[in-house]
Structure 1
C-alpha cells in the first residue's frame, strides 16, 4: 500500500503501467526483493564487511576478479547488442513506455530486464573492494551510482518498461564493456595506469550530459505522456552523478597533474 501511494504521488498513470508480465521473473515479483539486496549490500559495506576484515589480511581475489571482469564484458556486450537492435525505432523527442504485446515491445521489456540484472551484478564491485581492503575506492560516487542505478532500473523495468529510459542502456552497456575491459586488462597485467582510463571518465560524463538532454526534451514536450515525475527524478539523479564524476575527475586528473607539475619545477 505504501509503495502504491508513493507511485501514485509520482504519477497516477504509473499504476496502470505496471508490467505484470515480469512478476514471475527472478527479482521482479516485489519491491521488497531489490530493497533487501541493497539493504544487505549497504550493511556489508559499512558494518559487516569491515568487521569481518578487521583482523584479516586483504584477500587477493585475482582469479575471481579476472573471471568477474570477463563475465561483465561478455554480458554487457550481449545486452548492448540486444538494445542496439531495437534502437532504430527510438524517438528522441518522445519515447513512451512499451507495454503492448507486440514482438518489439516484448523484446524491449526483455532487454530492460537483462539490463536490470546487470546493475545488481555491478554491486559485487564494492564487495570486492571491502574484501581486498581497498576502502579508499568506496567513495560517495561509487556507492551512489551503484545503488541508484540498481533501484532506478528495477523501478523502471517494473513500472515504466522501455520508454526514454531505454536510451540509457546502449550508452551504459557500451561504456561498461570498455570499463570492465580495462579492469580485466589490469587484473591480468601488472600495469595499473592505462592511458585510456582518464577517457573512460570523460565518456561517462558525456553519457550523462547527452542522456540528460534527451530527458529534458521529453520533460518539456507537453504532448509526450511519459511520466514527468520520473523525468524530474532522472534529471536530479543525473545532475548528482555529473557533479560527482566532475569532482572525481578533478581530484584524479587535474589536481594530481598540478601537483606533479609543481614537483617538476
Structure 2
C-alpha cells in the first residue's frame, strides 16, 4: 500500500493522460538527459552561463530578485519534501518485510515507482542549478564548493540511474531531507527571518555524507567480496554496475572532505572574522 502515491496517481493519471513511457521510465537514449551527449553539454552550458553572467554583471548593480528567489526555494522545499515521503513510502515496507540488507542491495529494490522518483530527483538537480544563476545576478561570489557540488551531483544522479544501483535511495532520501531544511532556510532568510540553527544545518550536511559513505562503501564491499573474493565475509552481492558504485564512492568522499573544510573555515575562524560564503556570512553551504 502506498496511500500518498496512489492519491497522486488518482489525481494525475499519467497513463490516461498519454504521458510517453520514456517520461515515466528511465530509457537510456530516449528519456531526456539520459546520454553523455546531452548531460555533458548541459553541464558545460551551466558553467559558461554562470561565469558569463558573473562577467556581465561586473559593472552593473546587483539584482534583488527577492520574489523569484523565494518562489524558487519554496518550490524546492515542497518538492523535496513530497519526493522523500514518496520514496520512504515505497522503501520502508520492503525493509520491514525483507530486512535491511535486502532493502539496500536486492535487485528488486529497483521498482517502477522508485525509478520514476529517482528520475524526478535527477531533474531536480538541473532545477537546482538555478541557485547559481541567482547568486551571479545578485553579484555574490561563486564558491568552488557550490559550483562543484551542484554540477557534480547532477552527474552523480545520472550515473546512478544508468548503473541501476539499488542502494541509491539512501543518499537520495537523506539529501532530499537536507534540502527540505536548506531551501526553507534560504526561503525564510530571504524574507528577513533570523535563523539561529544555521550551524546545525551545516553539521547535518556533514552527517549526511558520513551516513552516505558508510552505506555505499558497505554495498560496494559486499558486491566485490561476493563477486571477486568469495573467501571474504559478505552478506551477498549488491545490485548495480561497478562504474556507478566506484564513481559514487569517490564523489561522495570528496563531498565529505569539502564540507568539513567548509565547516572549519566557517565556524573555526578567530572571533571577529566572518567568512564570506555565497556572498554573505550565512554559514550554510548551498549544496
TM-score range, shorter chain: 0.7 to 0.9
The superposition leaves residues 27-58 of structure 1 with CA deviations (integer Å, 9 ceiling, x where unpaired) of 33x33222222111111223x21222122111
Shift of 1:99: 8.6
Is the CA contact (8 Å cut-off) linking 1:69 and 1:181 kept in structure 2?
A: yes
Matches within 5 A, 1:107-118: 107-118=113-124
Counterpart selection for 1:170 from 157, 170, 173: 173
**Equivalent position SS for 2:269:** helix
Pairing 1:82–2:86 present: yes
Q: 1:74 to 1:209 in 2, by over 3 A?
A: same
2:263 matched to which residue of 1? 249
**Per-residue deviation at 1:183?**
0.5
Greater share of helix residues, 1 or 2?
1
Instruction: Find the counterpart in structure 2 of residue 40 from structure 1.
Output: 45
Q: How many residues align?
A: 231
Q: 1:190 to 1:213 in 2, by over 3 A?
A: closer
Whether 1:224 and 2:228 are equivalent positions in the alignment is: no
Alpha carbon RMSD of aligned pairs, Å? 2.2
Structure 2 counterpart of 1:154: 158
1:133 paired residue among 139, 142, 146: 139
How many angstroms apart in 2 are the aligned matches of 1:145 and 1:98?
30
The runs of 4+ residues in structure 1 deviating greater than 4 Å are 96-100, 256-260
- CA deviations over 1:75-126 (Å, ceiling 9, x no partner): 11111111111122256434245597xxxx1101000001001111111111
Are the structure 2 counterparts of residues 62 and 256 from structure 1 closer, same or farther at C-alpha, using a change threshold of 3 Å? farther
Partner of 1:9: none
TM-score of the superposition, structure 2-length normalised? Answer: 0.74
CA contact 1:27–1:33 (8 Å) conserved in 2: yes
Name structure 2 gaps, 5 residues minimum: 1-24, 227-235, 275-287
The residue that corresponds to 2:183 in the other structure is: 180
Aligned to 2:126: 120
Correspondence for 1:8: none
Counterpart CA distance in 2 for 1:259 and 1:179 is 24
Contact 2:80 2:176 in 1 (8 A): yes
Question: SS where residue 105 of structure 2 aligns?
Answer: coil
Distance 1:40 1:256, change over 3 A: farther
* Contact preservation (8 Å) 1:27, 1:34: yes
